[in-house]
Amino acid sequence: MAKFTRGMGRKAGLPPGSLLHIGDNRVEKVTISVMDYDASGVREENPKTVGELLRFKNTATVTWINIIGLHDIKIIERIGSCFDIHPLVLEDILDTNHRPKLEDYGHYLYIVLKSFVSQGGDNPEIEQISIIIGENYVITFQEQDEALFNTLRERIRSEKARIRTLGADYLAYALLDTVVDNYFDVLEALGETIEDLEDKLVIEPGRNAMQEIHNLKRRLLNFKKSLWPLREVMGTLGRGESPLVNKATLLYVRDVYDHTIRVIDTLETYRDILSGMLDMYLSGISIRMNQVMKVLTVISTVFIPLTFIVGVYGMNFKYMPELDWEWGYPAIWVVMLLISATMLALFRRRKWL
Amino acid sequence: MAKFTRGMGRKAGLPPGSLLHIGDNRVEKVTISVMDYDASGVREENPKTVGELLRFKNTATVTWINIIGLHDIKIIERIGSCFDIHPLVLEDILDTNHRPKLEDYGHYLYIVLKSFVSQGGDNPEIEQISIIIGENYVITFQEQDEALFNTLRERIRSEKARIRTLGADYLAYALLDTVVDNYFDVLEALGETIEDLEDKLVIEPGRNAMQEIHNLKRRLLNFKKSLWPLREVMGTLGRGESPLVNKATLLYVRDVYDHTIRVIDTLETYRDILSGMLDMYLSGISIRMNQVMKVLTVISTVFIPLTFIVGVYGMNFKYMPELDWEWGYPAIWVVMLLISATMLALFRRRKWL
Amino acid sequence: MAKFTRGMGRKAGLPPGSLLHIGDNRVEKVTISVMDYDASGVREENPKTVGELLRFKNTATVTWINIIGLHDIKIIERIGSCFDIHPLVLEDILDTNHRPKLEDYGHYLYIVLKSFVSQGGDNPEIEQISIIIGENYVITFQEQDEALFNTLRERIRSEKARIRTLGADYLAYALLDTVVDNYFDVLEALGETIEDLEDKLVIEPGRNAMQEIHNLKRRLLNFKKSLWPLREVMGTLGRGESPLVNKATLLYVRDVYDHTIRVIDTLETYRDILSGMLDMYLSGISIRMNQVMKVLTVISTVFIPLTFIVGVYGMNFKYMPELDWEWGYPAIWVVMLLISATMLALFRRRKWL
Amino acid sequence: MAKFTRGMGRKAGLPPGSLLHIGDNRVEKVTISVMDYDASGVREENPKTVGELLRFKNTATVTWINIIGLHDIKIIERIGSCFDIHPLVLEDILDTNHRPKLEDYGHYLYIVLKSFVSQGGDNPEIEQISIIIGENYVITFQEQDEALFNTLRERIRSEKARIRTLGADYLAYALLDTVVDNYFDVLEALGETIEDLEDKLVIEPGRNAMQEIHNLKRRLLNFKKSLWPLREVMGTLGRGESPLVNKATLLYVRDVYDHTIRVIDTLETYRDILSGMLDMYLSGISIRMNQVMKVLTVISTVFIPLTFIVGVYGMNFKYMPELDWEWGYPAIWVVMLLISATMLALFRRRKWL
Amino acid sequence: MAKFTRGMGRKAGLPPGSLLHIGDNRVEKVTISVMDYDASGVREENPKTVGELLRFKNTATVTWINIIGLHDIKIIERIGSCFDIHPLVLEDILDTNHRPKLEDYGHYLYIVLKSFVSQGGDNPEIEQISIIIGENYVITFQEQDEALFNTLRERIRSEKARIRTLGADYLAYALLDTVVDNYFDVLEALGETIEDLEDKLVIEPGRNAMQEIHNLKRRLLNFKKSLWPLREVMGTLGRGESPLVNKATLLYVRDVYDHTIRVIDTLETYRDILSGMLDMYLSGISIRMNQVMKVLTVISTVFIPLTFIVGVYGMNFKYMPELDWEWGYPAIWVVMLLISATMLALFRRRKWL
């Protein structure tokens, strides 16, 4: 939970645009990789210095620069001056606690969004991805090297890929599409976890079921926080106000927008389902509990008058005629059986058993 | 539940417009049927190949092409190239997890909506229907062959049907109207189920009533997810921004819009009713439970002092004067009767019984 | 409840404008009555055939045609063709499950709204009233003959009534005003029922109080469903977009709009009050219940150690010195009194009693 | 509660503008008082007849006419014809159940709002104040003679008051400001009541605390109903669409708007606080209750096995070897002490005590 | 709580612009400090009289005037007349209960916002900061002398600070940025408190946990009240409608807007987390409670039949054959062991233990 705020206050009082990496160092060394392509071919490079990137800046080809690792502030700074990026954007790239947003700086668009990296375990890590969309280049900033964009890279490499004939805006769309499609995987895993939990609740509701429901709720809360603002980002992008995005690409962007809404819808549905499950679990527990108490209380209630009766004939009064009767003892048994039978019948008739 | 997401993530990384059927194969073979009509007559065909459809494309008559079954991607693809449909639309037609939406592609409109197919049982299956509205043709895509549009077909076949004198937009309206009118049937069935459950709750509230209420709530959630976005679809269509829909038809579209709002209103009312039922059921259970416990506890409470008294006279002290009194035993009975009568009177006066 | 949907699905597949009466036949015979007036006089008629209405169509006088009973579809149909009313409007007039709405058909306005007819009993019946406002005529459709508009009729009949000098739009306003003012009566009765229930809850909260609160909530739900859309109807009418409504009349329409908002406000307040009552009732029940259980448990708890003690001296060990003491018996009474007094004091100090 | 509706339905069927006083007669006689001022001086009068007011109508001075008491319909009627006020406005002035609203009739503005008159006791009475703002006059209608505007009157009387140099719109502002500032007093008193109740809840939570919380909630509901629409009234007024309000005065009106929002904010905060208090109170009650039951049950549970044991040695079997042992009796005591000590230790280790 | 309202009503009836300090005197003496800078240098002064400020009014340099302490009304008044500030603004500066707002007075902007001053303890004090932004000066009003702006002062003093080359609007931005960044510190501390509480709840849920959760909720409520309106303030400022804010500065203002939204988002998340914690805590308490009661009741229920049996053989009937059997006593033990074993097995099989 503290990760929502930790590191937030570290910068108070510093001038704006002061670069400071807020987040964990997830990789050891910052890696820069470049894909430069047009319909005729693809060039891939891993430049050692930021200076080498300058070559790609004013070419007719589409250039995708991918930076993995954010802790080396100098590299980010140099890329910023290289591509004329506003210091506030650099600051935002380094601050990994940002909510998704879109900012239009005229000659480039800046988009922040979140990706969920499954670590093998159940609870995916939230990673921040920054995308800068220029005239003929796209720069992406990631916290770690993961396989998310590998399929896209393969697609670009393949000979007749349509993407090779289209501009930087289409590349940006392809990146956004990949990230949003990845949400569906995460949601599917989450949906299965919820389904399993529901099945488990029916079979054997235990104390820790509640803990699990609450954990899932918390996780949904995190997802929602990461996804909700994306709706607006995609909506704004799809309205096509920036000349950097072609009319033809807008159709695709709106498709991503649709997917984003579906993701958010599904999250809402999950939340409703979890609330319903919690209600049902709690009321189920309480109803079952009450039933147990009722049965136990009925048992006590049947025996208490009987215990009284045998107490009566355990008294030591000198003159107790019943004690001397020959059939007194069996008679008292009969009386007690009658009493308990009557009580049980009454309880049963009133549906107390 | 998992059906909200299952298959969602299958496409991550693929280029957009990659055709992939997401959904169940509900029919064995894809069927194409064509109704081509104008005021003078109706021609019906079941072409074997997509190529035969080309003939209907540029005629003055209205053509309704109905495709049942979505798993044969090649057929969908060929229809797409035949009628110049955008790959993203084809992709959406094949993905049966879509929320209702309306997209305007200039020379055609694309509408997705849901139909509820009652399978004889209680819980209707949700089917996706895609409608493409062109200048003089309407193409509908369904997952299975059901009777939904049969009455409409009969209407077209009848000699003097008004529909025969009107364009493709009116046919599209008739299709939408049929689907929305069908919702009322489903809602009516649902309303009866809710009413039955309510009656049952009054007569004999059982443990599984809660399960049933929750099932109904879940079903309403599913319906709402399928219907809520339809409101916007119909609203947009009714605003008449597309030249494909005539002014005269708009009046009818707005009527469907009205019906859609009524359906959603009714869903909301059902939800409120179910919430009220659940509250009443739970508080009813708890109140009845408490009543039972109270009565049982009162019985115990009355007998406990009596048991104490008979215990006293069961003690073996040498010097216990009462034990030797001639009337000791009856006296103690009298005392005990008085005590229990007093207690019961007290309890009754305080409304504990 | 089922009345929300019953009959809804009956029309699926029929062409639009198929006239079908959906609702109960509340009167035996359809009655048509006509009031035709201007400043100089009032003519009243009860024409037997729809044809007789034609005379009133193109006069300078204001004509109010009131139709009671909807089950004779032919009459409705003839009126429709007589006054050139769109088939969809006729369909809506016959479907008594409509939500309030306003539709502008150019040469006439169509308004649907609900009226609550008190049947002597507590729960008023909901009746649908359709109003068609033309240039110089107003047609009203009601399901049954009730006294609602009688005062208005008297007003028209009176010699110097201002209404006689004004047009059809003012007549329509007067009709709407009468219906909305009638809501206040219904609300006042409802308010009194709520107040009575509240008083009853304070004096003697019974099991069926919950049932009554839920019934009232359900009734409010029905009212809300009938009234909420009216707000928009009145708002649209008051904006004065139709040339059929004069500027001077708009002030009056806005007054009705104000009243409608007050009615809805009051409904909301009632709902809040009922929720508060239910909460208070339930927590009151539970607190009182707990109090009872506490007292009963305290009684048991005081007696259980005493019963143990008398049990001890009921044992048959050969060597129990206390049994032979002369003052053993009184001593044990003293001990027991001390124990119970201590316990009661402790319980009282901890506020358990 | 019933005061929300009582009298509402009294007018159904009457023509609009039929004057009818709806509310209580809070004063015996209607009083008219006039303050007529400009920078040079103040004239105060108490005219006996409405006719005398005509003199003030077309003067250059600002005239404030204050009417106290609404039950004399004739007076209201004459004022209406005197100042050319629409009959619907007169009707609204007389109906004291109105929600705050602003209506622009061109040559005058009509504002209704509520004032809270503290009657010494805790629960202030809600009074309706109607304000008519003309070119150079302001007419206020109150239900009773209270001190609310006295400070304002003093301000006008004082020699160099800035208000004397300004127009009728500033006077209207001063009136609104006085009413809204008065809300803060009422809220402050309410805040103190809530604080006291909270303190009381901590010290000794009693049964009637719930009743008090509910009363406060109901009161907040009443306030909210009276204040919420005022926000829109002030907002509309502050937008400066009426030529009757000068640009310079708008700044002041917006200040009142700010205050209104603060009042509503505070009301919302109070509601949240009350909800929190109720939750805490109810869960506190339930937790404490449970604790008591647990302790009592532990006591019973410790004694029940002991009672069983002494029961065993109270049996009358001929052959019970223990009974004849010399140390049997002390041994049984040791056994019982051990058992109870073990149980208590166990309970304590599991935190049941 | 009462601090929301205390002092609110003190001014009712006074003319607007009547200066009155509403708040606590947090410092003894009002301090005025001036920073006057441009790219070439910084001059700092602590003028004793307001008159000395006049020198800075019409210079080309940027002047930051900081007033600490609000209780000396005369000083505020003189500053007001010095810089031509509207009396309503002065009134608002002195009233420390204001909600954040932005007002555009043409030649200056007036902004009110809240700062949270940590007093070493857990619960930060809320302080009101008023900022007046003129052409070339910024005036800030604080209630006490705290370190909040010290880093900013150092930044201005440093030789090559970018801020020295920019105008008053950038200084205003820097002030707002400092305040909003400070919120993150406060939120981080709050987040840690919540996290600690959550950990504590898991280990040992005590009665006062509920009190702590409620205190945190109340604190969040206070924060929300102080922060929510800031969103609109920043949004309005960022829209750049005032000529006092340069285009270049707008980018920075929007960055602060972003931060404000993140602060509010985090607050919302905290509220959801707290609600979840409270729910989990309460249901956890209730479930654990029930478990205890169940175990205790099971113990009683096992012993009650046994006590009955030993009671039977404690009866003093003359003819009780069992009592004379040689193995009667061991036999009864066997019977009792069997009964209790059976009961325990049953209870265990039904998961009651």
Q: How many CB atoms lie within 10 A of CB E344?
A: 14
Give the pLDDT score at D14: 67
Apex B18 CA angle, B16 and B20, nearest 5: 130
| Listed residue (C178, A95, B58) closest to D9, CA to CA | C178
Q: Which residues pair with C35 in a beta bridge?
A: C44, C64
Greatest mean pLDDT range, B21-30, C203-212, D100-109? D100-109
Q: Do E8 and D185 touch (CB under 8 A)?
A: yes
Residue at token pair 């009792």: E336
When scoring A308, A339, A349 by the number of chain B Cβ atoms within 10 A, the one with the most, hence best to mutate, is A308
Q: Do D251 and E88 touch (CB under 8 A)?
A: yes
| E residues 133..192 contacting D (CB < 8 A) | none
Domains of chain E and any CATH numbers: 2-283 (3.30.460.20), 292-349 (1.20.58.340)
Digit-coded pLDDT (tens) for D27-64? 778 889 999 998 888 999 888 888 888 888 878 899 99
Digit-coded pLDDT (tens) for D267-300? 988 988 898 888 888 888 888 888 888 888 888 8
Q: Is the pLDDT of residue D10 over 60?
A: no
Q: Do E99 and D265 touch (CB under 8 A)?
A: yes
Give the pLDDT score at E234: 92
Helices E247-312 and A87-94 sit at what angle, rounded to 10 degrees?
Answer: 20
| B residues 193..252 contacting A (CB < 8 A) | 207, 210-211, 214, 217-218, 221, 225
* DSSP 8-state assignment for residue B58: T
List the chains bordering chain C where 3 or more Cβ pairs fall under 8 Å.
B, D
Q: Do C294 and D299 touch (CB under 8 A)?
A: no
Give the pLDDT score at B120: 60
Task: Report chain B's C-alpha Rg in angstroms.
Answer: 35
| D residues 263..282 contacting C (CB < 8 A) | 278, 282
CA-CA distance, A164 to A155, in Å (whole number)? 9
Nearest CA in chain B to A173: B16
Q: Do E88 and D150 touch (CB under 8 A)?
A: no
Q: What's the N-to-C CA distance of chain B in angstroms?
A: 47
CA-CA distance, A308 to B112, in Å (whole number)? 75
- B122: closest CA of chain C, how far (Å): 16
Digit-coded pLDDT (tens) for D188-233? 888 888 888 888 887 766 667 878 888 888 888 888 888 889 999 9
Q: Do C317 and D328 touch (CB under 8 A)?
A: yes
Nearest CA in chain B to A350: B292
CA D35 from chain centre, in angstroms, equals 32
Q: How many CB atoms lie within 10 A of CB A242?
A: 16
D6 CB-contact burial (10 Å; exposed 0-12 / middle 13-18 / buried 19+): middle
- A23: closest CA of chain E, how far (Å): 15
- A327: closest CA of chain E, how far (Å): 8
Select the residue of B161, B186, B311 nearest C310 (Cβ to Cβ): B311
Nearest CA in chain E to A211: E280
Digit-coded pLDDT (tens) for D221-266? 888 888 889 999 999 998 888 899 998 899 899 989 999 998 998 8
Per the confidence metrics, is the pTM higher than 0.90? no
Nearest CA in chain E to D176: E13
Residues of chain A with C-beta less than 8 angstroms from the C-beta of E320: 329
Give the pLDDT score at A1: 39
When scoring E315, E322, E351 by the number of chain A Cβ atoms within 10 A, the one with the most, hence best to mutate, is E315
Whether the predicted interface score ipTM is above 0.85: no
Give the pLDDT score at C179: 92
> What number of residues does chain A have?
353
Q: How many CB atoms lie within 10 A of CB C114?
A: 22
Digit-coded pLDDT (tens) for E21-55? 777 777 778 889 999 998 888 999 888 888 888 88
Q: Do C293 and B294 touch (CB under 8 A)?
A: yes
CB of B287 closer than 8 Å to CB of B279: no
Residues of chain D with C-beta less than 8 angstroms from the C-beta of C162: 15
Apex C140 CA angle, C136 and C141, nearest 5: 150
When scoring C5, C128, C226, C233 by the number of chain B Cβ atoms within 10 A, the one with the most, hence best to mutate, is C5
Digit-coded pLDDT (tens) for B121-165? 567 788 899 999 998 999 999 988 778 898 899 889 987 778 888
Buried b / exposed e across B110-146, counting CB within 10 Å, b at 16+?
bbbbbbbbeeeeebbebbbbbbbbbebbbbbbbbbeb
- D282: closest CA of chain C, how far (Å): 8
- C294: closest CA of chain D, how far (Å): 7
- A311: closest CA of chain B, how far (Å): 5
Question: What value does the mean pLDDT take over residues B242-260?
Answer: 90
Question: What value does the mean pLDDT take over residues C222-238?
Answer: 89
Q: Which residue has the higher pLDDT, D145 or C252?
A: C252
Nearest CA in chain C to B150: C13
What residue type is assigned to position A106 of the chain?
G
Q: Do D285 and C290 touch (CB under 8 A)?
A: yes
User: Residue B222 has which token pair?
Assistant: 């599913």
- B308: closest CA of chain C, how far (Å): 5
- A118: closest CA of chain B, how far (Å): 13
Residues of chain A with C-beta less than 8 angstroms from the C-beta of E314: 310-311, 314
Question: What value does the mean pLDDT take over residues C212-221?
Answer: 87
What residue type is assigned to position B136 of the chain?
N
Select the residue of A187, A191, A298 nearest B296 (Cβ to Cβ): A298
CA-CA distance, B293 to B100, in Å (whole number)? 52
Rounded to a whole number, what is the largest CA-CA distance in chain A? 121
Give the pLDDT score at C121: 59
Digit-coded pLDDT (tens) for B107-116? 999 999 999 8
List the chains bordering chain A where 3 or more Cβ pairs fall under 8 Å.
B, E
Q: Do C15 and B162 touch (CB under 8 A)?
A: yes
| D residues 65..124 contacting C (CB < 8 A) | 86, 88, 97-99, 101, 103
C191 CB-contact burial (10 Å; exposed 0-12 / middle 13-18 / buried 19+): buried
Each residue's pLDDT expressed in tens, for chain A with a length of 353 residues: 344 444 555 555 567 767 777 777 777 788 899 999 988 889 998 988 888 888 888 788 999 999 998 888 888 999 999 899 998 899 889 888 888 999 998 899 999 999 988 766 567 788 899 999 998 999 999 988 778 898 899 889 987 778 888 999 999 999 999 999 889 888 888 888 888 888 888 776 666 787 888 888 888 888 888 888 999 999 999 888 889 999 889 989 999 999 999 899 889 889 888 988 888 888 888 888 888 888 888 888 888 889 888 888 888 888 888 888 888 888 888 999 999 999 999 988 887 77
List the chains bordering chain E where 3 or more Cβ pairs fall under 8 Å.
A, D
| E residues 44..73 contacting D (CB < 8 A) | none
List the chains bordering chain B where 3 or more Cβ pairs fall under 8 Å.
A, C
Mean pLDDT, 10 residues at a time, chain E of 353 residues: 47 67 77 90 88 84 92 89 90 87 91 83 81 93 85 87 89 93 88 86 72 86 88 90 89 91 90 87 82 84 88 84 84 90 90 75
User: Residue E262 has which token pair?
Assistant: 């993140």
How far CA E25 is from CA of E3, E21, E96, in Å, comes to: 14, 9, 11
Greatest mean pLDDT range, B54-68, C114-128, D276-290? B54-68
- A214: closest CA of chain B, how far (Å): 19
Apex E146 CA angle, E145 and E152, nearest 5: 110
CA-CA distance, A236 to A244, in Å (whole number)? 13
Select the residue of D4, D101, D299 nearest C301 (Cβ to Cβ): D299
Whether residue E11 lies within 8 A of chain D, CB to CB, comes out as yes
In this structure, are strands C137-142 and D31-38 parallel, antiparallel, or unpaired? unpaired
Digit-coded pLDDT (tens) for C329-339? 888 889 989 99
Select the residue of B191, B262, B315 nearest C310 (Cβ to Cβ): B315
CA-CA distance, A238 to A260, in Å (whole number)? 12
Instruction: Count how many Cα atoms sit within 13 Å of the Cα of residue A246 in the half-sphere of its side chain.
Output: 13
Residue at token pair 């009363």: D215
